[in-house]
Structure 1
Amino acid sequence: MAVERVDAARNRQAILRAAEKLLALHGPERISLDLVAATAGVGKGTVFRRFGSRTGLFQELLAERAARIGDAIAGGPPPLGPGAPPAERLLGFLDELAKLAAKNIALIAAHEQACAADKHQDPTYRRWHEHLTGLIDQLRPGGDAEFLAHMLLASFDGELVRQITGHGGVNRLRAAVRDLATTILPAARVG
């Protein structure tokens, strides 16, 4: 794997921070790569070479936010990491997604808009779906784990997250998603 040049890494961070800032100020609808480049202090070509499109930019920004969760799943302590029972891992993962979604509502909405045609092929979505599918398969052998994983991930739709957290915050979102999980997967109930 090639090591990223220092200036390329600096530009990448500047572009991601500019996109973040613009999402917070204007929402996803009014963000163009021209505006991101100007805000980051880089040329439009730099943004295009690095990310290719708005979709690529939002995918990378979400992947950056999701990296901590991925690291915890792969080798962190329970309940996310290996070693915890599948029910605890599933609920812990959903709790983390609720926190991520509540903190990044504008990004989630932008990502959904940019990836609408191919949402289920997005690398971050695929990793989350694969993880949930594996856990669900352990909790409900013979069930349609793939479908149930999609249903749980649909709980993190940007507009739905905005509505739920607007009237109850992240705790309401977390509780609602846990309730859904334990309703469709009774084996996911924990203590």
Structure 2
Amino acid sequence: MSAILDAILRFKLDNRHLSLALEEAGSGSPYQADHYRWWHRTLRDTLRRIPGVPDDDFTAHALLAATRADLVEHLVGQDGVTAERMRSQLANYTAKIVDG
């Protein structure tokens, strides 16, 4: 699970402007985009195989929210958080959610 989210975050870190444009295309919400629905389904299905994870559907949304392009841009672009720090924070967050 952590590796999947790390890959998403690394892509968004490396392609911040593209990621922002993709998430804002159309409705201004990533939740309507086909790629979001694919990632949500992928995470949800993975979470279903992990014993003890509560509400796999909501948890998938919450974990993806931690990788939103606007959040990445805010933390890296405005707050000066390094990519390494953000990746570490996401890994710790994911472990707490998934491992309980």
TM bin, normalised by shorter chain, reads: 0.7 to 0.9
**Residues 122, 172 of structure 1: CA spacing in aligned structure 2 closer, same or farther, 3 A cutoff?**
same
Name the % identity. 27
| 1:91 aligned onto 2:8 | no
Gaps of 5+ in 1: 1-89
1:145, distance to aligned residue in structure 2 (A): 0.5
Q: Which has the larger radius of gyration?
A: 1
Over residues 78-136 of structure 1, what are the superposed CA-to-partner deviations in whole Å (9 max), with x where a residue is unaligned? Answer: xxxxxxxxxxxx11111111110101111121122224366323221111111110111
Distance across 1 between alignment mates of 2:51 and 2:82: 30
Q: Greater relative contact order: 1 or 2 (C-alpha under 8 angstroms, separation 6 or more)? A: 2
Give the CA deviation at 1:142: 6.7
Structure 1 residue ranges, 4+ long, deviating more than 4 angstroms after superposition = none
| In structure 1, distance between residues paired with 2:41 and 2:75 | 26
Residue segments in structure 2 that go unaligned for 5+ positions in a row? none
Matched, 1:185 2:98: yes
Residues 92, 126 of structure 1: alpha-carbon distance in 2 compared, 3 angstrom cutoff:
same
Question: What do residues 62-91 of structure 1 show as CA deviations (whole Å, max 9, x unaligned)?
Answer: xxxxxxxxxxxxxxxxxxxxxxxxxxxx11
CA–CA distance in 2 between the matches of 1:163 and 1:178?
Answer: 19
> How many angstroms apart in 1 are the aligned matches of 2:85 and 2:42?
23
CA RMSD of aligned residues (A): 2.0
SS in 2 for 1:156: coil
CA distance in 1, matches of 2:86, 2:53: 29
TM-score (norm 2): 0.81
Q: For residue 84 of structure 2, what is the amino acid of its counterpart? A: N
Task: Pick from 79, 82, 88 the counterpart of residue 169 of structure 1.
Answer: 82
Retained in 1: the 8 A contact 2:53–2:98? no
CA distance in 2, matches of 1:142, 1:158: 25
